[in-house]
Structure 1
Amino acid sequence: MKSESFVSVVLNTQLTSNELTSKLNQIHELLDANYTDYEILIVSKGPYRDVPRVSSIDQTLKAIPCVRLLQLSGCVHDDIVWAAGLENAIGDFVVLFDHLTDPVEVIHTAVDKCKSGFDVVVGVSNQSIPPVYKFLRETATRILTAIDYHIPKNSTGLRCLSRRAVNAVTDTGRFHHQFYMRIQKTGYPIAELVYEPLCENQVKNSIVYGFRNLVRLMVFNSSRPLRWMSIIGTLGSFSALLFAIYSIVVNMIDGHVVQGWTTTILFMSILFMMQFIMLAFFGEYLSRLLDDRSEQAAYSVVFEKKSAVMVNKDRVNVLSKSTAEEPNLVQTGRDR
């Protein structure tokens, strides 16, 4: 028996290829077999001038029902792309799905887990990772925990949110560099969903990519790193004062200043390193202030295309029962 819950699956892609069409067919077959109402929302970022006016997506919209294409005007951050999909999805449950790495079957599993009482379901990969990257990722996790960002170990981009969790995310300000942080801070119950991605090579486990994300999350979601840099600067200044006193004492007692030349150069190098680290963070925070002061919208939609068939024509908005038979503990839909 099909579930009466409305499920939205959001995809982030810029390319319309045969592989995408094949994946859309698989998603459609899964949703059609398990749910009465559903939609597949494709969010494509710009720039719009590089988007072909006639593409294979038009044929896909004619062949596969319940597909929506949302074309953004500019090349925005992936956080904003996912946020645009979340804001425009109309389902009781919204699944953020990576068509390159996530298996289609995980959609149904994530929705069922969400119905069991967890408003936010986070995907976790069970693939093995290199030891070096594992160590760096654990270190990054400890740092993010210090700024109150708690993410499961080996988490992926897969998310499933109930409607009330979606509303909590979309009603709380700007999305830029804060999307996953806002999801984690909705206050609703969160559960992990362990699964095996399709292709290990497609998983973004680059050390450079991870470091960039770490700095972005730290700077744009908390002011604690700024305090850490202040502490480093204070310690550096105090160390410089002690070394200056030491140099004066040595000069008064021994008089051979040349003997401390190597130590002086080394210490000056350390101080300059601290200063440049602090300046880098200050520059990032200035960028954050400028971004927060901007009056521009996070994104703009150029156009929206839909499938030729979007809803079941035989279904009317009349229900024979006031409550649903299937369990739904997140109070999404009519089972309240």
Structure 2
Amino acid sequence: MDKKSRKLRLSDKIISLIAVTNNDEDIIEKRLKEIKKILSKLRTNYEILIVDNNSSDNTIDKIKKLKNIIPYTRILVLSKKYDNEIALTAGLDNCIGDSAILFNLYTDSVEIVVSLLDKIEEGNDVVVAKCNKDIVSYDFVSKIFLWLTEKISSHGFRHGFNFTMALNRKVINSIVSTRRKSRHFSYINYLVGFKKQIIYYRQIRTYKYKLSKQKISEVVLGTADTIISNSFKPIRIVSFLGLFLSFLFLLYVLGVVILILVFGMKHLAPQGWISTSTVIGTLFFILFSLLTLISEYVIRILIESRDEPFYFVSEEINRSTILPKRKTLNIV
């Protein structure tokens, strides 16, 4: 899309740029001025919504001092420090834009704003910006663990600290209506659906020092919490694995019995081993069968207990004629 057509389409809309801060007094002025400069070039209405994650330094004061230079800035101060996903959700709850951009102050160049809005104006509902290479590195064990969890995930889970994306108002409303406690955005995007586009970009390294390298324990615990909170695959995998192994044990016992009774290979098992193993194997098979059944009921209970809408409406198209053919209506 060329610049002229983009300006015409954006002129009557409001863009909300949402950014999370936490003790960022050293970078906040420069970053806000960069954001204001790029948004002003778009010739559209906009707001910069800062969600402060309970900063203890002078971040808020520095933002307030910029009110004359950047008048369209709103500040939402959280009462304590929350996960980044919760802070972004607070921004989506309170933004007023027709579209919202989730912007990472530490990794994103302001040029990504234009790229995201271009894709939204092309008709996409969600535009996710993925980096070609994370600027935060992980050790080998963490990489293997993350690779495995991404493979077993049922909803396209991808571990990362970056949630740069653009959302139109339909998607914002759908996410806001989803009140599950776990707010990982890769799962929420999967849940609400809509037309999605992925773009790739290069992260800036200027503020890399603001990002702390995660320990392997933090990676494992955080990823496990996200997967268990949002996916039913782990409980199903463990349940069916136990059932399968107990079934294999029964087959093994049956094989030994056949070898002893048919081929007379009594040396394969001591006296009493067959009866003991048969009883143990049968009990474990019944036990894991019950656990598998119970796990399915637990999954259903979790689904019913989540306070989520039954569906999300992508579009509503009205007709001028409400009842065109009365005879075909199923009305008594």
TM-score of the aligned structures, taking structure 2 as reference length: 0.65
Identity %: 26
1:234 counterpart residue number: 243
- Separation of aligned partners in 2, 1:85 and 1:192: 22
Change (3 A) 1:69 1:154: closer
1:44-96 Cα offsets, whole Å, 9 max, x none, are 234xxxx55x8342232231322222122233332211111111111111011
Unmatched tracts of structure 1, length 5 or more:
261-270, 295-329, 332-336
* Structure 1 contact 80–179 (Cα < 8 Å) conserved: no
1:259-299 Cα offsets, whole Å, 9 max, x none, are x9xxxxxxxxxx9xxx9xx9xxx9xx89x96xx689xxxxx
1:115-140 Cα offsets, whole Å, 9 max, x none, are 11111000111227889577665544
* Structure 2 contact 25–58 (Cα < 8 Å) conserved: no
2:226 counterpart residue number: 217
- Separation of aligned partners in 1, 2:110 and 2:59: 22
1:310 counterpart residue number: none
Q: 2:20 aligns with which of 9, 12, 17?
A: 12
Unmatched tracts of structure 2, length 5 or more:
274-283, 308-313, 316-332
2:191 counterpart residue number: 185
Q: Does 1:106 align with 2:97?
A: no
Which of the pair has the greater relative contact order for Cα pairs under 8 Å at 6+ separation? 1
1:95-116 Cα offsets, whole Å, 9 max, x none, are 1111111111101211111111
1:322 counterpart residue number: none
Shift of 1:151: 6.2
Change (3 A) 1:256 1:237: closer
- Separation of aligned partners in 1, 2:214 and 2:117: 26
Moved more, 63-72 or 213-222: 213-222
SS state of the match for residue 164, structure 2? strand
For 1:5-44, list aligned pairs within 5 A: 5-44=13-52
- Separation of aligned partners in 2, 1:231 and 1:73: 44
- Could you say which structure has the larger radius of gyration? 2
Equivalent residue letter for 1:89 = C
- Separation of aligned partners in 1, 2:176 and 2:108: 24
Equivalent residue letter for 1:35 = R
1:28-51 Cα offsets, whole Å, 9 max, x none, are 1111222332111121234xxxx5
- Separation of aligned partners in 2, 1:62 and 1:140: 45
Equivalent residue letter for 2:24 = T
Q: Does 1:174 align with 2:180?
A: yes
Question: What is the number of equivalent residue pairs in this alignment?
Answer: 267
1:14-37 Cα offsets, whole Å, 9 max, x none, are 213121221111111111222332
* Structure 2 contact 163–185 (Cα < 8 Å) conserved: no
Q: 2:266 aligns with which of 229, 253, 269?
A: 253
Moved more, 131-140 or 95-104: 131-140
- Separation of aligned partners in 2, 1:155 and 1:73: 22
Shift of 1:166: 0.6
Is the strand fraction higher in 1 or 2? 1
